[in-house]
Amino acid sequence: MKELIGSAVGSIGKGFVAEKKNVLTISFVLFCTLNTIGQNINRQQVNRLLIQLQKSRADESRIHSLVELGKFHIYKPGETKIDLDSGLTYLHQAKKLSDSLHLVRWQHEVESMLVIADMEGKNHELGQLRFRRLLDECQRTGDKRTEAVARFRNAIWLRNVDKEYSHVISQFVQAATLYRSLNDQKNEILALKEIAVTYLIQGDNDIAEAQLLDVLKRYKAINYPKLHDIYNLLAVVARLNGELNKGLLYSLLCIDNMSETGDTTSAATYYGDLAKIYIEIGNYGKGMEWYRKSLTKWRQERQPNYALYNTAGVISQDLIAHHKPQEALRLINTLVNEIPTNTMIQKGCVAQNLAYCYEALYNYPLAEKYYLEAISWYNRNKLDSEKAQKAHQDIGSFYFKQKRLTKASYHLEKALSILPQKNALLTVRNIHYMLFKIDSIQGNYLSAIGHFRQHKAINDSLFNETKSKQIAGLQIQYDTRQKEQNIELLTKQSKLQQSELKRGQSTRNGIIAASLLLAGLLGVSYNQFRLKKRSNQLLQTQQIEINQKNQSLSQLLEEKEWMLKEIHHRVKNNLQVITSLLNSQSSFLHDSTALAAIRESQNRVHAMALIHQKLYQSDNLALIDMQQYICDILDHLIDSFNRQHSVQKQVSISTIQLDVTLATPLGLIINEAVTNSLKYAFPENRPGTISVSFRSLENQGYLLTITDDGIGWPTGFNAKQNKTLGLSMIRGLSRQIGGRLAISQHEGVHISLEFSQTKKVSSGRDVA
């Protein structure tokens, strides 16, 4: 199995740790729980075996230790010759001892490992020849168990070097059949599990999940305790399919089962996979906690491994996010010096991590060099997995920040071309969003809309949301353009109809004049008859014209009302375009004060846009339903500051409709007051409540109150003399509508505004 899926899948089993390559692909971390084949062992277990070897006699237990040590070195990640030589040394000692003791089973066991050693040493033809001879010998002697082991190991190797998975599945099926004939249920199930893993590698996630669930059921039926490998695999499938809740459940079951059984051999992998799921569901703190546990475990192993460097990369990105790029760079360099890489995939991962660090240190040429180097390593291995996609995503994001949009678009499209079912839906979602932003800047509206829809659809499927809170700015621009074209077409048609009407009128008038002249020439009596007849026809014609004009006037009134609604719609759309532009601008800002100012500007624009939205959605084009309008503003602001879980709203709003000239400043006053509460009243995410009341008074006036139960003003704060933009706007808008403003604090801040229905410019007063 490929290393990137291996890092996510973790211990796909114990006993086969393979991270080798050939001309087709690169092999990655692979484990198989087959006790007779040999348990995957870590560095501590190796040390114990070495001690046992010094004390053991020349018997079967010594052969077992030699074989286990041989497996450990052969299956170590990488292609270091010294590891292969060490493995062969132990195996040859085991062969010599098993030959002297005439232990046929152990002779076959050693021979099956020498098959793997030959292929590890790139002697593929010799290895396959040795494999066929071993099968013949096992069948001749009736050694079904070793034949099953040999087929199992050969299938693992083929799966690492050849994408023709039908041969792999065939070998696993034959191994399972042999174990079934031996009534060895545990190893039969293990072979079935590896068939499921093979389907997962080739991207058939649904088949893999169904077979893994069947394997889990079989293991439980025989009371097999070590289920953590299966739970981890199911978690990986769920994460790749975007079922993050299910993935989290399986991953936690994996950790629990590992703790219960005490089998922590693959703890580093399980911790990393759980961390990845926590990050993807948005629990960043938990995710980093498990990533640090994973890195600690990997470093204890002191073996080069892709997952080791990948985990270090995630932690370095966290350090960068906390403005510690130098510390992140030291982590990567120290790790590589401590445990040098020995495969291309590892080198690619380290290059990717260095790129993150140098980008954060503003050394953009060096960052670009390492990003391209990482992609080069992955391309040389024809890598089509999640890490290769992430490499293109990362450099695409890098180029976007550098405003090199063509290159950014190329790499992001490249990332999308990788087989989607082998990658997490969350990654695909983020790539679509980046392409949406690039296309929006370049004016490729239709493409931008397509990417935003993909982003939205995946986001909804991931988190089960029925409606996104984000608005596609480019969708608005595109719709606006379409409507502008429709309005222009309607205007042209109207002008054409009026022109044709005038020409028809002139023609009819000419005919009437000619008819009258002709009637005068025909004689008085006859002419009078004709004149009377034509006069009647003229009256009928004029009546028809009057009816047509009345109908046209009625249609024009309807069109005028429609166009007025359309104007409100377009104003709302244009305001939302401004919001989208502000959002795009914020992508290029790093100053927190500037970002906060842009967010507040977006909220002000949103408050005004809501007015026009209410107008074009309503049958009444002059009055605003304040109850719904105020609730919408509160919901938007709480969501904007991400305080849904800590700040509650309480509203008491009468059924009141206000003219737009009063509703607009009132909405802005509410926006500023609530924004101030969300910013300052509840520091450090402390819980609180914001209350808004709006009711009618007996003297045809209104009373608006806004209250929070926060920490109140700082000592010495004077609301009346304060010159901040928010309070200045509240005072100015209150004067604009002729209101009486009062601001005080008692167990929080209390703002009240009393005003009448008749707007009185600059007549208001405020009291603090």
Q: What is the CATH number of the domain that holds 282?
A: 1.25.40.10
Assigned domain for 371 exists: no
Structural domain harbouring 5: 1-224
Q: How far apart are CA 150 and CA 133, in angstroms?
A: 11
392 & 438 share domain: yes
Please give the pLDDT value at position 372: 93
Sign of CA pseudo-dihedral 297, 17, 84, 388: negative
19-23, 183-187, 295-299, range with the lowest pLDDT: 19-23
Please give the pLDDT value at position 86: 79
490 & 395 share domain: no
For residues 304-331, give the mean pLDDT: 91
Nearest Cα to Cα of residue 423 among 199, 237, 198: 237
For residues 258-282, give the mean pLDDT: 88
Q: Which of 50-64, 246-260, 361-375, 509-523 has the highest mean pLDDT?
A: 361-375
323-327, 390-394, 455-459, range with the lowest pLDDT: 455-459
Helix (H), strand (E) at residue 652: strand 647-653
The number of residues in the chain equals 768
For residues 595-603, give the mean pLDDT: 72
354-368, 610-624, 625-639, range with the lowest pLDDT: 610-624
- Residues 96-128, buried b or exposed e (16+ Cβ, 10 A)? ebbeeeebebbbbbbbbbbbbbbbbbeeeeebb
159 & 236 share domain: no
Assigned domain for 543 exists: yes
Q: How far apart are CA 325 and CA 313, in angstroms?
A: 12
pLDDT at 400 over 80: yes
Please give the pLDDT value at position 333: 94
For residues 666-671, give the mean pLDDT: 88
Assigned domain for 345 exists: no
For residues 451-478, give the mean pLDDT: 53
> What is the CB neighbour count within 10 angstroms for residue 667?
25
196-210, 237-251, 476-490, range with the lowest pLDDT: 476-490
Nearest Cα to Cα of residue 694 among 622, 752, 632, 761: 752
Assigned domain for 464 exists: yes
Q: Please, are residues 255 and 270 in contact by the beta-carbon 8 Å criterion? A: yes
Please give the pLDDT value at position 304: 83
Amino acid making up residue 443: G
Please give the pLDDT value at position 56: 78
| Cβ-proximal residues to 659 (8 Å cutoff; 6+ apart), any chain | 622, 623, 624
Q: How far apart are CA 104 and CA 644, in angstroms?
A: 70
Please give the pLDDT value at position 474: 31
Please give the pLDDT value at position 312: 93
Assigned domain for 759 exists: yes
Please give the pLDDT value at position 25: 29
Please give the pLDDT value at position 528: 64
98 & 65 share domain: yes
pLDDT at 504 over 80: no
Say whether 623 sits in a helix, a strand or coil.
Answer: strand
Q: How far apart are CA 35 and CA 53, in angstroms?
A: 20
| Position 626 confidence tier, pLDDT thresholds 50, 70, 90 | confident
In degrees, rounded to 5, the angle at the alpha carbon of residue 324 between the alpha carbons of residues 318 and 326 is: 115
Q: Which of 177-186, 464-473, 565-574 has the highest mean pLDDT?
A: 177-186
Which of 412, 447, 468 is at the close of a domain? Answer: 468
Q: How far apart are CA 653 and CA 634, in angstroms?
A: 13
Task: For residue range 96-146, list pLDDT tens digits in order.
Answer: 877 787 777 787 787 777 877 777 777 777 777 888 888 888 888 888 888
For residues 399-423, give the mean pLDDT: 79
173-177, 388-392, 545-549, range with the lowest pLDDT: 545-549
Q: Which of 20-34, 484-498, 544-558 has the highest mean pLDDT?
A: 544-558
Tokens of residue 426, six digits? 């969350």
444 & 481 share domain: no
For residues 666-686, give the mean pLDDT: 86
Alpha helices by DSSP H, 42-164: 43-55, 60-74, 81-101, 104-120, 124-141, 144-161
Please give the pLDDT value at position 189: 94
CA distances from 256 to 39, 227, 238, 276, 352 (A): 21, 10, 18, 17, 33
Tokens of residue 10, six digits? 């973790």
Tokens of residue 439, six digits? 């296309």
Which of 468, 488, 515 is at the close of a domain? Answer: 468
Tokens of residue 715, six digits? 């000592």
Q: Phi, psi (5° rounding) for residue 688?
A: -170, 180
391 & 272 share domain: no
419 & 479 share domain: no
Tokens of residue 319, six digits? 């350090």
Please give the pLDDT value at position 373: 93
For residues 736-764, give the mean pLDDT: 77
pLDDT at 682 over 70: yes
Assigned domain for 364 exists: no
Q: How far apart are CA 410 and CA 608, in angstroms?
A: 38
Task: For residue range 530-546, list pLDDT tens digits in order.
Answer: 666 676 777 777 777 77
92-96, 188-192, 365-369, 634-638, range with the lowest pLDDT: 92-96
First CA to last CA distance, the chain? 71
CATH number, domain containing residue 734:
3.30.565.10
CA distances from 29 to 160, 248, 388, 546, 748 (A): 10, 22, 16, 87, 58
Q: Rounded to 5, what percent of the chain is helix, strand, coil? A: 70, 5, 25
545 & 638 share domain: no
Amino acid making up residue 265: T
Please give the pLDDT value at position 472: 32
698 & 760 share domain: yes
pLDDT at 417 over 90: no
pLDDT at 227 over 90: yes
| Cβ-proximal residues to 560 (8 Å cutoff; 6+ apart), any chain | none
pLDDT at 482 over 50: no
Please give the pLDDT value at position 432: 86
| Cβ-proximal residues to 354 (8 Å cutoff; 6+ apart), any chain | 329, 332, 370
pLDDT at 292 over 70: yes
Nearest Cα to Cα of residue 659 among 625, 697, 618: 625
For residues 342-349, give the mean pLDDT: 87
For residues 578-601, give the mean pLDDT: 70
152 & 199 share domain: yes
Assigned domain for 404 exists: yes
Task: For residue range 629-642, list pLDDT tens digits in order.
Answer: 888 888 888 888 88
720 & 639 share domain: yes
pLDDT at 173 over 80: yes
Q: Please, are residues 198 and 172 in contact by the beta-carbon 8 Å criterion? A: yes
| Position 762 confidence tier, pLDDT thresholds 50, 70, 90 | very low
Q: Please, are residues 383 and 2 in contact by the beta-carbon 8 Å criterion? A: yes
Of 640 and 704, the structure prediction assigns the larger pLDDT to 704
| Cβ-proximal residues to 37 (8 Å cutoff; 6+ apart), any chain | 15, 16, 149, 152, 153
Torsion, CA 716, CA 722, CA 727, CA 728, rounded to 10 = 170
Q: How far apart are CA 153 and CA 135, in angstroms?
A: 12
Which parts of 533-633 are beta strand (E)?
A: 623-625
pLDDT at 179 over 80: yes
pLDDT at 334 over 90: yes
Nearest Cα to Cα of residue 235 among 245, 221, 220: 245
Say whether 265 sits in a helix, a strand or coil.
Answer: coil
Which of 199, 224, 249 is at the close of a domain? Answer: 224
145 & 181 share domain: yes
pTM, rounded to two decimals: 0.51
Sign of CA pseudo-dihedral 368, 374, 379, 385: negative
- Residues 548-580, buried b or exposed e (16+ Cβ, 10 A)? eeeeeeeeeeeeeeeeebbebbbbbbbbbbbbb
What is the number of structural domains in the chain?
5
Q: How far apart are CA 635 and CA 349, in angstroms?
A: 43
| Cβ-proximal residues to 444 (8 Å cutoff; 6+ apart), any chain | none
pLDDT at 69 over 90: no
Q: How far apart are CA 603 and CA 609, in angstroms?
A: 10
Q: How far apart are CA 200 and CA 768, in angstroms?
A: 67
70-79, 152-161, 627-636, 675-684, range with the lowest pLDDT: 70-79
Q: Phi, psi (5° rounding) for residue 550?
A: -60, -40
CA distances from 335 to 7, 300, 354, 460, 602 (A): 18, 12, 12, 39, 44
Please give the pLDDT value at position 232: 94
Assigned domain for 686 exists: yes
90-99, 178-187, 579-588, range with the lowest pLDDT: 579-588
Contacts 24+ apart (CB under 8 A), 38-42: 38/67, 38/68, 38/71, 39/14, 39/15, 39/68, 39/265, 40/11, 40/13, 40/14, 40/15, 40/16, 40/75, 40/265, 40/266, 41/68, 41/71, 41/72, 41/265, 42/265, 42/301
Average pLDDT value over all residues in the chain: 77
Tokens of residue 491, six digits? 């205007």
| Per-residue DSSP letter, 75 | S
